[in-house]
């Protein structure tokens, strides 16, 4: 499974399933910088980054890396993860 590259810095902006609001400019910040952000949810946690012209999310459940989901847009990745692992 693909995992977050070493050396990326965490953005201070994160995505949460609490309100499902994607912060303005988060895609651009992930694309422009060597950064990643968190995806916080009730049943999973994820790290999202941009690499090789795609967004990727390393999905963790109960401390284990269970999947990596990739897609063209940040929203596409978050929606796919929420569909598979829960949107709460």
Give per-residue pLDDT as tens, 19-60. Answer: 566 667 888 889 987 899 988 888 899 999 999 999 999 999
Flag whether 44 is in a domain.
yes
Query: In whole numbers, what is the pLDDT of the chain averaged over residues?
Result: 87
Does residue 3 sit within a domain? no
In a domain, 53, yes or no: yes
The pTM of the full predicted model, rounded to 2 decimals, is 0.88
1 in a structural domain: no
Residue 41 domain-assigned? yes
Exposed e or buried b for every residue in 18-42, given b needs 16+ CB within 10 A?
eeeeeeeebbebbeeeebbbebebe
Beta-strand runs (E) in the chain:
9-10, 15-16, 35-40, 45-51, 54-61, 64-71
Domain count within the chain: 1
In which domain, by residue range, is 21 found?
A: 9-85
Mean pLDDT, rounded, for 56-81: 95
Residue 2 inside a domain? The answer is no
Asked if residue 50 belongs to a domain, the reply is yes
């Amino acid at each position: 499974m693909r995992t977050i590259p070493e050396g990326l810095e965490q953005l201070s902006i994160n995505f949460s399933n609490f309100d499902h609001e994607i912060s303005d400019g988060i895609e651009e910040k992930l694309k422009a910088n060597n950064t990643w952000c968190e995806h916080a949810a009730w049943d999973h946690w994820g790290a999202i980054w941009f690499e090789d012209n795609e967004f990727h999310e390393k999905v963790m459940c109960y401390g284990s890396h269970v999947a990596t989901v990739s897609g063209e847009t940040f929203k596409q990745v978050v929606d796919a993860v929420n569909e598979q692992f829960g949107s709460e």
